[in-house]
Amino acid sequence: MWCQRLAWLLRGSCGRRWPRSVAALARGHHTAPRSLRCAWQLHGDHLELRYGNTLMRLDFVWLRDHCRSASCYNAKTNQRSLDTASVDLAIRPQAVRVDESTLFLTWPDGHVTRYGLEWLLKNSYEGQKKQVMHPRILWNAEIYRQAQVPSVDCRSFLETDEGLKEFLQNFLLYGIAFVENVAPTKEDTEILAERISIIRETIYGRMWYFTSDFSRGDTAYTKLALDRHTDTTYFQEPCGIQVFHCLKHEGTGGRTLLVDGFHAAEQVLRRAPEHFELLSRVPLKHEYVENVGGCHNHMIGVGPVLNVYPWNNELYLIRYNNYDRAVINTVPHDVVRRWYHAHRALTTELRRPENELWVKLKPGKALFVDNWRVLHGREAFTGYRQLCGCYLTRDDVLNTARLLGLQA
């Protein structure tokens, strides 16, 4: 047990007895700091701090750098005032003390830093590691249908925080969400978008509006089927969210296909982790070359198919568009074939019929798609079909969600 370990150069402890703290943690009661036992030990360049059942290793420079005292941190702006470059990289605390809730460090120049133990738990690497950044429910068609995720009514979405919060919660969990009873116009769709975000203007405009008139040099502007893909893979930062609102369709076909890319990637990770690993390491180019009418564009975006946070391996972005994938020239020959195998494994998962959610977009029902997670496609169609929508900047959607108290 921790408190019985020997050979501590310098050590201390505080708090009540172990059994209670262990029981409290087992119940997940992180909010009862006084019941959590804490112990610490100084090492050459860091402080080892055990709090509850988390063992944190806190670098001395990090501890000095994150000091929340009034001279080091401006609590009004939530910005650091301390000049990190002025910290001696060989700094060591002169004195360390811990009481039931706080760690006190005295530095060689006499400056005192205080950290709440709960704050450390929330902000240390070890505390973060156990936590996912984005809680999600991965789905196939059956899981999504069973969940019976409700669409939010347009008025409640626009006029109440509860409506908006419910919508965003579903969007964060599933990567798709619908708003119902929207007036079928571009202007009304724009009002929806602006409720949650800043619209990301791109080469397609701010609010786009398209039919199968091939007014732009892309298959989207035809009646052809489009296999599952994410959009704007050829941007250095692909668009975060895509809004679709079908304003009119007089004809057949044209259903929308949705596939949870993270669910597929998770299956690849489970079945063949080496494929997942390769897809997350090999950078590729995607490209948009357009020369139709007056439109001339050449966009290039570089990045792996699967993008994971390096510290916890959590997937946060999938770039998957076989139409727009450029010549592979960023990979040496011995990796190329392995990459194709990995890409095939992911494609196999993405194409499993049980993973396909088909919906027919109708005037009045707007669809929001997390373009970093959920792939979309469409069935070929006949007749006149008019779709409007826009892209949203991801940071602003997440900002709105956080302001409503959601984890995003």
Ligand X SMILES: O=C(O)CCC(=O)C(=O)O
Per-residue contact flags (x/-) with ligand M3L for residues 203 to 232, judged by CB under 6 A: -x---x-x-------x-x--------x-xx
In DSSP terms, 49 is beta-bridged to: 40, 56
Residue matched to tokens 């502007």:
221
- Quick note: the x/- pattern for ligand X over 164-203, rule CB under 6 A, is ----------------------------------------
Question: Mapping DSSP to helix (H, G, I), strand (E, B) and coil, where does residue 15 land?
Answer: coil
Nearer to ligand X, 158 or 220 (CB): 220
Alpha helices in 197-254 (DSSP H): none
The answer to whether the CB of 393 falls within 8 A of the CB of 200 is: yes
Going by C-beta distance under 8 Å and a sequence separation of 6 or more, which residues neighbour residue 104?
Answer: 95, 96, 97, 98, 112, 113, 114
Enumerate residues 320-349 that contact ligand X by CB under 6 A: none
Kindly tell me which of 231 and 260 has the beta carbon lying closer to Fe ion: 231
Judged by beta carbon, residue 133 or residue 380, the one nearer ligand X is 380
The answer to whether residues 26 and 53 touch, using CB atoms and an 8 Å cutoff, is no
Please give the Cα distance from 87 to 91 (Å, whole number).
Answer: 7
Query: DSSP states of 146-196 as a string?
Result: HHTPPPEEHHHHHH-HHHHHHHHHHHHHHSEEEEES--SSHHHHHHHHHHH
Minimum distance, C-beta of residue 154 to ligand M3L, in the bound complex (Å): 22
Helices 333-351/273-281 angle, 10° precision: 110
Comparing CB distances to Fe ion, the nearer of 190 and 218 is 218
CB of 26 to ligand X, least distance (A): 48
Strands 54-59 and 315-318, by their bridges, are unpaired
Instruction: State how far the Cα of 81 lies from the Cα of 205, in Å rounded to an integer.
Output: 40
CB of 290 to ligand X, least distance (A): 14
Q: Which residue is nearest to ligand X (CB)?
A: 378
199 — phi, psi (to 5°)?
-75, 135
- 256-272 per-residue burial string, b: 16 or more CB within 10 A, e: under 16: bbbbbbbbbbbbbbeee
Position with the least CB separation from Fe ion: 231
If one asks whether residue 390 binds ligand X (CB under 6 A), the answer comes out as no
Q: Which is closer to ligand M3L, CB of 118 or CB of 218?
A: 218
Q: Which does 232 bind (CB under 5 to 8 A by kind): ligand M3L, Fe ion, ligand X, none?
A: ligand M3L
| Residue 171 CB, nearest approach to ligand X (Å) | 18
User: Measured from the CB atom, is 216 or 263 closer to ligand M3L?
Assistant: 216
Kindly identify the residues of this chain, within the stretch 251-290, that bind ligand X according to CB under 6 A.
256
Among 25, 183, 220, 272, binds ligand X (CB under 6 A): 220
What are the φ/ψ torsions at residue 174 (nearest 5 degrees)?
A: -110, -15
C-alpha neighbours within 13 Å on the C-beta side of residue 384:
3
- Taking the complex as a whole, how short is the minimal distance between the CB of residue 220 and ligand X, in angstroms? 4
376 binds ligand X (CB under 6 A): yes
Residue 190 interacting partner from ligand M3L, ligand X, Fe ion, none (CB closer than 5 to 8 Å by kind):
none
Minimum distance between the CB of residue 236 and ligand M3L, rounded to whole angstroms?
A: 14
Q: Which residue in the set 231, 260, 324, 349 belongs to the binding site for ligand X (CB under 6 A)?
A: 231
Under rule CB under 5 A, residue 324 binds Fe ion: no
Nearest by Cα to 283 from 302, 310, 309, 264: 302
Q: Binding residues for Fe ion, how many (CB under 5 A)?
A: 1
Phi-psi region of 22 (alpha: psi -120 to 50; beta: other; left: phi over 0): alpha
Q: Which of 250, 231, 252, 220 lies closest to 369, judged by CA?
A: 231
Shorter beta-carbon distance to ligand X: residue 18 or 384 = 384
Residue 206-245 contact track with Fe ion, rule CB under 5 A, x = bound: -------------------------x--------------
User: Residue 37 or 394: which CB sits closer to Fe ion?
Assistant: 394
Catalog residues that contact Fe ion under the rule CB under 5 A: 231
Catalog residues that contact ligand X under the rule CB under 6 A: 220, 226, 231, 256, 376, 378, 387
Catalog residues that contact ligand M3L under the rule CB under 6 A: 204, 208, 210, 218, 220, 229, 231-232, 321, 323-324
